[in-house]
Amino acid sequence: MTEEIDSYEVVSDKVPAQITIERTEDEYVPVYEVDRPKTEEATQALLSNVRQELTSTVQLSSKEFIDPGELEEVKEKFEDKADEILEDELPSLDADERQIVVGNLLHEMLGLGDIEIVLDDDNLEEVVVNGAQEPLWVYHKEQGWLKTNIAFESDEDIRNKASVVARRVGKQISSLHPLLDAHLPSGDRTNATIFPISTEGNTITIRKFARSPWTITDFIENNTLNKDISALLWMAIQYEMNIIISGGTGSGKTSLLNVLTPFIPPNHRIVSIEDTREISLPEFLHWVPLTTREPNPEGKGGVSMLDLLVNSLRMRPDRIIVGEIRRERQAEVLFEAMHTGHSVYSTLHADTAEQTIRRLINPPINVPETLMESVDLNVVMFRDRQKNIRRAMQVSEVMAEHRGGETDISPNVIYRWRSSDDEIVKQNPSSKMFDQLKMHTGLSDSGIEEGLEDRKQVLDWMLEHEVNNVDRVGKVIAEFYKDQDKIIDAVKDGEEPENVL
């Protein structure tokens, strides 16, 4: 017995493929079926000449593979030449058939074969090759881990695919260098291991870069956050408070960081520092994205996160976004930036608010406890693997109590996720944030509460009118900063967002 869970189409390099997710009796996990148009056997037999001519006529430099802009030009060059050769060699093919043959050749000769189709499925977060003895696995946003119908001929086939990935980024993977950690021009992060390090078969793991970034309305709609937390974080970012987002691997730390960035006012200069571009800000913001660079095989030319962080302070930023806090010197510069008036947002691997503080003040990060007061808010993300959901588990203030020359750092948890009924509930009133807002803005407690309520109404309005695109969300926020009364009136009158943006 087979039960169909979902079905949709994915188009990769003009090759349409039908995706079907099914639950079958003989599998413990659902199966992700890829049905792509195949070239007929008679046509396939004639393609060896086409491949040879393409190899000899389309000469590609390593720079063309590495540069994302030039890679698109490479594809166009390849497609044009392949189309021209096919028209001569196989004139009987109609335009649609020829387009599919060209796309298949592109995947086979410049890409990763059937994996290219999977990489263009926006519903997937992870693509995993565990060796030739089992098929490709994928992690689906809604369905979790799925086994696919894509198989590999041998471990040598997988090794060749890992070499293709390495060449795309100007690296190599070999018996001498059996580990590969790289970021593809698309932003996808790729890790590969080969024999002898990988004893059960060569592996490839690809974490996909989000093509359509999440927005605050998405997170409220899928219950990752609620409107209370969203309004609180909105106000905290508007008034330049420092926020650390922590959580386990795959809990949604970077996604939340991405979701919160449209709350930054458009007249502030933003510098983001990442290993690979994962942050996507509204296009009209004043944003300078920086990414690290690994050294070449001779160990030269590397640019670390610390290098970029130190340099960013010379770029007159108002806001600094750092992909992840990892080491002492990096944290030292980051906290110095907080002390010199910059608003800082970053992520950290930690499972609770208490653990976040312990990780920051202990090796290898070693932030002095006297500097911890600089962190205003900490959001802890949690991923429930059984239910395949992500939640803001805790939102807390980082509190410092000074006693007898010593500083005691502890969290004041304002909101927490209650797993028993999947609800985010208020645990304690805010102390530090409200005090800072009153000191810096002159707002009273009732004024702050009124501001939070206004923001919740705007969020409700965006949800009602399906404002779930990064640029549209950003425009609503920017318009709110420009003329708050106009937006609040539009919300109360139930106007369409397009009429006021």
pLDDT tens track for 427-454 = 999 989 999 999 989 999 999 999 999 9
Predicted confidence band at 42 (pLDDT cuts at 50, 70, 90)?
low
Higher pLDDT, 386 or 487: 487
Q: What pLDDT is recorded for position 438? A: 93
How many CB atoms are closer than 10 A to CB 426?
14
Contacts (Cβ under 8 Å, ≥6 apart) of 341: none
Q: What is the pLDDT of residue 362?
A: 95
Q: How far apart are CA 411 and CA 167, in angstroms?
A: 47
Mean pLDDT over 389-407 rounds to 90
The rounded mean pLDDT for the chain is 90
Residue 62's pLDDT is 55
Summarize the confidence of residues 340-360 as an average pLDDT: 95
Query: Which of 68-77, 126-135, 291-300, 459-468 bottoms out in mean pLDDT, i.e. has the lowest?
Result: 68-77
pLDDT of residue 50: 79
What is the CB neighbour count within 10 angstroms for residue 400? 16
Q: 292-316 b/e with 16+ CB inside 10 Å = b?
A: bebeeeeeeeeebbbebbeebeeee
Specify the pLDDT at position 277. Answer: 78
In this model, does residue 66 exceed pLDDT 60? no
Q: What's the pLDDT tens digit per position in 117-146?
A: 999 999 999 999 999 999 999 999 889 999
**Is the model more confident about 60 or about 143?**
143
Whether residue 493 contacts residue 304, with contact meaning beta carbons closer than 8 Å, is answered with: no
70, pLDDT greater than 70: no
* 216-441 topology per CATH: Rossmann fold (3.40.50)
Give the residue, 13 or 46, on which the prediction is more confident.
Answer: 13
| pLDDT surpassing 60 at residue 69 | no
pLDDT, tens digit (0-9, with 9 covering 90-100), for 146-201: 999 999 999 999 999 999 888 877 788 998 889 998 877 777 889 999 988 998 89
Q: 150-159, 331-340, 387-396, 460-469: which range is least confident on average?
A: 331-340
pLDDT band at 64 (very low <50, low <70, confident <90, very high): low
Please report which helix (H) or strand (E) contains residue 7, including its range: strand 2-12
- 23: amino acid identity, one letter: R
Q: CA torsion 280→284→287→288, rounded to 10°?
A: 90
- Give yes or no for residue 63 having a pLDDT over 60: no
